[in-house]
Amino acid sequence: MARPFFALNDFLILMSIVRARPEDAKRLTDIAFAAKRHWRYPESWMQSWRDLLTILPEFITNHETYAALLDQRIVGFYALGVTGRKMDLKHLWVLPEAMGKGIGRSLFMHALQRVHECGGREVEIESDPNAEGFYQRMGARRVGINAKELDGQRRELPILIYEMK
């Protein structure tokens, strides 16, 4: 896969996507929390998501987990889980200051390449409502919702499928 270039402050910077290492767990966790906080959720909600957003070294070892490096610094990542011929996008997070630069798109396209290489036929995504539009622009379609209650408020998490072509 071609490595994208980004122009930042008149400098050309090469972005690469590499396999995450167990020792990257804290950095990936920090990115997940920063990206989720970008949507200005209440801190009580953020604390309720602590286990979901915390990336452990064992998780990286047991899942297809890749990091986006920009100027040799991890600025985003994704992780895939496998269920038969279907794969789940467990995580896809980009630092807020790196959003809007094509990093999320590059990570998603890389994930699709990995799904293809692993023989997967579709990718299931349980999306944050704020990210649903991104996944739809990438070609995923909504197939349902996962309704949850948080602090007495109903939250509907879109369930999307991307079918491999």
pLDDT at position 131 is: 97
pLDDT at 84 over 90: no
DSSP notation for 149-162: EETTEEEEEEEEEE
Rounded average pLDDT over 85-104: 94
Report pLDDT digits (tens) over 127-154.
999 999 999 999 999 999 999 998 899 9
Supply the pTM of this predicted model: 0.90
- List, for residues 17-58, the tens digit of each pLDDT value: 999 999 999 999 999 999 999 999 999 999 999 999 999 999
Tokens describing residue 127: 């999306």
> Which domain CATH number covers 119?
3.40.630.30
Q: Which domain holds residue 60?
A: 5-163
Name the domain count of the chain. 1
Q: Is 6 exposed, middle or buried (0-12, 13-18, 19+ CB in 10 A)?
A: middle
The pLDDT value given to residue 85: 72
pLDDT at 7 over 60: no
